[in-house]
Every structure is written in C-alpha cells, then in structure tokens.
Structure 1
Amino acid sequence: MKGQLGELEDAVMTRVWRLDRPVTVREVMVELRRERTIAYTTVMTVMDKVHRKGLLRRELDGRAYRYTAVATRADYAAALMDEAWSHGGRRADTLVAFLGRMTADQRTAFDEALRILGTRAEPPGTPP
C-alpha cells in the first residue's frame, strides 16, 4: 500500500469495503451519488489511482473492470499507523505520546486489542 488516501479516494474505498465483493465503477458511482453529485469518469479516475496505490485489485469482466479491495479497512489503518510510527523518532516516546492522546473509547479498544493478543498462542519456539 502506497500512501494515505485523499478524501474522495477514502469515500470510494469506504463503498468498496462496505459492498465487500468485486464491484464496477458504475456500482461505486451509484453508491456515491446517494450523498453527492459525481461523474462516472471521476469515479473511474479515482478507482484507477487507488488501484495504482495498491489498495484495489482489478480484473477485466467484459468491457469493464471489477475491483476488489486488497486489504481491509483495519489493515489499511494499521499500515498508516505503522508508517507514522516509523517516522516518529524514538519509538517509545512516540507510543507514549500516542497513548496520551487516546480518548476513553480508544483506550477501551486498545485494552481489548491487548486482551485479544494475550489470548493467542505463542509461536512455536518462543521461550516462556
């Protein structure tokens, strides 16, 4: 995945993730038109850009492409966090700053994630 999504790219990907199946430009355009006026060619251009960023895979189906998300929204967000973390200097300081900015809801989600990770089996060969 290459880079952060712009506002319209994110709107397109939100529809692709929500539909959760291979989609055409026309299907995404119909979904977007529920909230905004947008041209078919604009959606086509945006989907091509997102494809080039590595977030969409496409296959020719007749005369149109069908696009499928390469990763989930959570995977995309995690990649962005990892990229930001790698540019933050001393990682412990960056993590402390991040945790200090969390809302109560975010902290609850973080605690839940740690709980989930704690219940996973250790990889083979990991010392106790």
Structure 2
Amino acid sequence: MSPRSRVGELEQAVLEALWDLDGADAERPGVSGRAVHERLQGRDGRDLAYTTVMTVLDRLARKDVVVRERDGRAFRYAPRLTRAAMTAEVMHEALEGTRGDREQALVSFVGEASAEDLAALRRALDDLA
C-alpha cells in the first residue's frame, strides 16, 4: 500500500487544515506551519504543540502527501492532491487489494451508498459514456 493510504488521525487533521487554508493567499501558495497550528488549536479538544504540527507536516512531506517549499527561513506546505483526488486514490488502492473480490466489493460499497451518492455515481457514469 502507498503511504497515502496510511495517513493517521492527526495527519488527516493536518491535511484537512491544509485543504481548508490552501489557496487563501494566491500570491504565496501553500500554508505556513504556524497557520496550520493555529487552525488546529482547540479543535476537537486538541491542545497540540507547534512542534508536533511541524513533525506531522515533515512526515507528510516525506510520505509525498504534501509538497514543501522554502519561504525565507521557514517552509510553506500544500497538499499534493485535492481531497477528491486523494479519496479516489485510497478507494482505488482498496479495490486493488480485494484479490478477485473486486466486483463484490463494488456491489457492497454501492449497496451502502446514500441516495445522494448513488445519484452522483449515476451522473459520473453517464458522463463517462
């Protein structure tokens, strides 16, 4: 499995913060570690140290989940993929691991999908046809 499919809970929270914050400053792409830390403070009852957030960002960069660009003495971080693209990648990886039960996995997934999800799937299939 790729590193992207092994994103832990805290890494996911940092990614969510990056997705929420990235693009807010069109002149300076990416997000500072400080901005991510501020975004996460107090959320879900978390009291994270700045160094913890920086360690997670470094780990995500090593996993190639985020890109890191130098900005003076610091770095700016941006997700390598959009939320949708990363979700699709994880879904593809999960299907690849079914070893012959791919059709059954798809049927099971669709069987538990909401009406809204089914409508989105139908639109996507129609667009592909």
Contact 1:4 1:80 in 2 (8 A): no
Equivalent pairs: percent with the same residue?
Answer: 42
1:98 counterpart residue number: 109
- Render the CA deviation track for 1:19-58: whole Å, top value 9, x for unaligned: 1231111010011114231110000011111111111111
Higher helix share: 2
Instruction: Return 5+ residue gaps in structure 2 as ranges.
Output: 24-29
1:16-35 correspondence runs (5 A)? 16-21=18-23, 22-35=30-43
**Computing the radius of gyration over CA atoms, which structure comes out larger, 1 or 2?**
1
- Render the CA deviation track for 1:75-105: whole Å, top value 9, x for unaligned: 1100100000001122222212221221222
TM-aligned CA deviation for residue 115 of structure 1: 2.8
TM-score by length of 1: 0.83
Q: Could you tell me which of 68, 78, 85 is aligned with 2:78? A: 68
1:41 counterpart residue number: 51
CA RMSD of aligned residues (A): 1.5
Give the number of equivalent residue pairs. 118
Q: Classify the secondary structure of the residue corresponding to 2:84.
A: helix
Instruction: Return 5+ residue gaps in structure 1 as ranges.
Output: 119-128
- State the alpha-carbon separation in 2 of the partners of residues 111 and 76 from structure 1: 21
Spell out structure 1 runs of 4+ moving beyond 6 A.
none
